Amino acid sequence: MILLAALAPDLLSTNDPYREHLDEVLLPPSGQYRLGTDYLGRDIYSRVVHGTGMSVVSALLAVVIGLVVGSAIGLVTGHYAGGRLESVLMRLIDALIAIPSLLLSMAIVVALGFSTVNAAIAVGVSSVAVFARLMRSEVLRIESLPYLEAAGLLGARGRAMIVSHILPNAWSSVLALSVLQFGAAIMSIAALAFLGYGDSPPSPEWGVQVAEGKNYVFAAPWMVAVPSVAIVVTVVAFNRLSAFVKELSTDE
């Protein structure tokens, strides 16, 4: 359902998420408005549905950045452990780990500009260290196995060793982490939007909706509850999917 809402929101929504109905503000959930209306009379259900695509796509961008950059660093530092390049890259990773991820993301967004895309880039950069650490540990584990020594004796070196022997055997743990980070990225991007570092109103992005609803939390609690539940359900769903992927890869 999350993917369907992200790919084809018009199939699930019932109203224009941006259309204002000033004579129907702060209405509770009803037959006409399934999850109520906000302070401008906009349909919250339709806004949450249309906000799904923004959250999923931005989280996907963040995960891709963290996965590609972090895995590349992890492969290099693991395979060429002990060299000067490994020392420089690991100091960079240590610096990224030392800075709280949300604070680092906020600093990057300030430098790039306020938007969901820039928030996704910032979250992706802040997750590079996590992927790099995991990939490096997997490479070091694999390089201690007898079959890799045998591949080296048969002439496998450098890029051939990494692409043909190390990477195919290290992907399972990194893939599970990618799915897990997907849920974390959704929460981080929503947090940045809530703090004003992402998209701005009238965007239906979930974090923006929570920020808009905080001033009406007692008069219209559904304004905060509905997008918050959407965030929680999505994060839990991807966490469970990550566990399934890890079990599947372990069985293989």
Nearest-10 crossing angle of helices 116-126, 128-143 = 40
Q: Across residues 21-39, what is the average pLDDT? A: 91
Task: Retrieve residue 95's tokens.
Answer: 């610096």
pTM for the whole structure: 0.87
Pick from 46, 224, 207, 64: which is nearest to 131 by CA? 64
- 57: pLDDT confidence band, cut at 50, 70 and 90? very high
Q: What is the pLDDT of residue 91?
A: 86
- 226: pLDDT confidence band, cut at 50, 70 and 90? very high
> Residue 10: which CATH number?
1.10.3720.10
Total structural domains within the chain: 1
Q: What is the pLDDT of residue 159?
A: 63
Pick from 162, 174, 182: which is nearest to 137 by CA? 174
Query: What domain range includes position 35?
Result: 2-251
For residue 14, CA distances in Å to 9, 31, 41, 48, 166 come to 10, 11, 14, 11, 50
* CA atoms lying within 13 Å on the CB side of residue 147: 6
Q: Which of 107-111, 144-148, 192-196 has the lowest mean pLDDT?
A: 144-148
